A and B are shown apart, each in its own frame.
Chain A
Amino acid sequence: MDHALFQYLLRLGDSTLVLSQRLSEWTGHGPALEEDLALTNTALDLLGQARMWLTLAGEVEGLSRDEDQLAYLRDAPDYRNYLLVERGNGDYGHTMLRQFFFDSWHYFLLQRLSLSPDARIADIAAKALKEVTYHARRSADIVVRLGDGTAESHQRMQSALDDLWRYTGELFVDDSIHTALAQRGVITLHETLEQDWLTHVQAVLKEATLNLPAIEDARHSAYQGGMAGRHTEALGYLLAEMQHLQRSYPGASW
């Protein structure tokens, strides 16, 4: 088994799956009908991407685990998603800021992955990139509207920013799995995405009249570890809800 590739695919699959699960929690609770639908569409896009990544991960692993087994029968320490996506939704601004950070990173990452010499990765990335281009445009738009909105929406966005910022550093950390894959040319190191991401994020937050916390605040190792299976307390609850039926009726077909 290609261990590094399997782990990397889990990182992509789990991050899109967990974020999709978070966004689905908004169904019927959005601030307006139109926002509700838009968020649900994004959740569905991400779920579709998670299915493709996890199916490929299962193939690479070679133990005939399919997308469902990977999604429903792994517990939190076996999940490899980034910490950012498992954080609770908070208010709508908090959700959209988390989305903005992730979408911007996702966009630059998928751009690189769509050029991967591994055709399986390139194909999924190219398909996902079309969806994520739209997600990124929309979340940036909302962040500006809320940041540069009323006094209350501005203050809420600033506190969301102060809360979520520390989880963004992990998106650019490269460990031995990334370096192994990068050496083979399958992926580019995530640190190479950081400058593009930062330039974009700074520009949008400036337009939103929000103050970016210090870059170093996103570097603390206490806020990293998701991609190695060390999660915040939030993921266990999320998985308990998501996996409940499969755990109660294992092996049932739906």
Chain B
Amino acid sequence: MDKTEWPLWEVFIRSQHGLAHKHVGSLRASDAEMAINNARDVYTRRNEGVSIWVVKSGDIVASVPGDKEALFDAARSKVYRHPTFFPMPDEVKHM
């Protein structure tokens, strides 16, 4: 199997009652259509009512671990930025 012809794809799936697509893993496929087919077989066992996204791994840009402090640590002490002090009515689900 030539890995340049079978690039790596990342798979995101929204399950039947799920709200958002979640990263579930990766697989190899020669193009997007095959990646979707393979994602169905490998990751959903063909449950109905799911949505699949596939994206070439090479197209994903990740944050650099070394930037962790600059990106995330500054917000840690600022709890007032989070709306955690309001009572939420039960009718509002999934905030």
Chain B residues 42 to 86 lying within 8 A of chain A, measured CB to CB, are 42, 45-46
B46:A141 contact, CB within 8 angstroms = no
B41:A38 contact, CB within 8 angstroms = yes
Question: Separation in Å of the B89 CB from the closest CB of chain A?
Answer: 41
Stretch at the interface among A29-37, A153-161, A169-177: A29-37
Q: Give complex CA distance A41, B44 in Å.
A: 11
Contacts of B42 in A (CB 8 A): 33-34, 37
A141:B34 contact, CB within 8 angstroms = yes
Q: Give complex CA distance A241, B38 in Å.
A: 30
Question: Separation in Å of the B33 CB from the closest CB of chain A?
Answer: 7
Question: Separation in Å of the A158 CB from the closest CB of chain B?
Answer: 21
Q: What is the interface size of chain A, counting residues whose CB is below 8 A from a CB of the partner?
A: 13
A41:B45 contact, CB within 8 angstroms = yes
Contacts of B28 in A (CB 8 A): 32-34
Question: Separation in Å of the A222 CB from the closest CB of chain B?
Answer: 37
A38:B46 contact, CB within 8 angstroms = no
A138 an interface residue at 8 Å Cβ cutoff? Answer: yes
Contacts of B38 in A (CB 8 A): 34, 37-38
Contacts of A131 in B (CB 8 A): 46
Contacts of A34 in B (CB 8 A): 27-29, 34, 38, 41-42
Question: Separation in Å of the A142 CB from the closest CB of chain B?
Answer: 9
A32:B6 contact, CB within 8 angstroms = yes
Contacts of A141 in B (CB 8 A): 33-34, 37
Question: Separation in Å of the A130 CB from the closest CB of chain B?
Answer: 8
Question: Separation in Å of the A174 CB from the closest CB of chain B?
Answer: 33
Chain A residues 37 to 78 lying within 8 A of chain B, measured CB to CB, are 37-38, 41
A134:B46 contact, CB within 8 angstroms = yes
Contacts of A137 in B (CB 8 A): 37
Which residues of B line the A interface, CB within 8 A? 1, 6, 27-30, 33-34, 37-38, 40-42, 45-46
Which residues of A line the B interface, CB within 8 A? 31-34, 37-38, 41, 131, 134, 137-138, 141, 145
Instruction: List the 4 closest pairs (A to B, CB-CB), nearest first.
Output: A34-B38, A38-B41, A37-B41, A41-B41
| Known A34-B38, A131-B46, A137-B37; 17 more pairs at CB < 8 Å | A32-B1, A32-B6, A32-B28, A33-B28, A34-B27, A34-B28, A34-B34, A34-B41, A34-B42, A38-B38, A38-B41, A41-B45, A134-B40, A141-B33, A141-B34, A145-B30, A145-B34
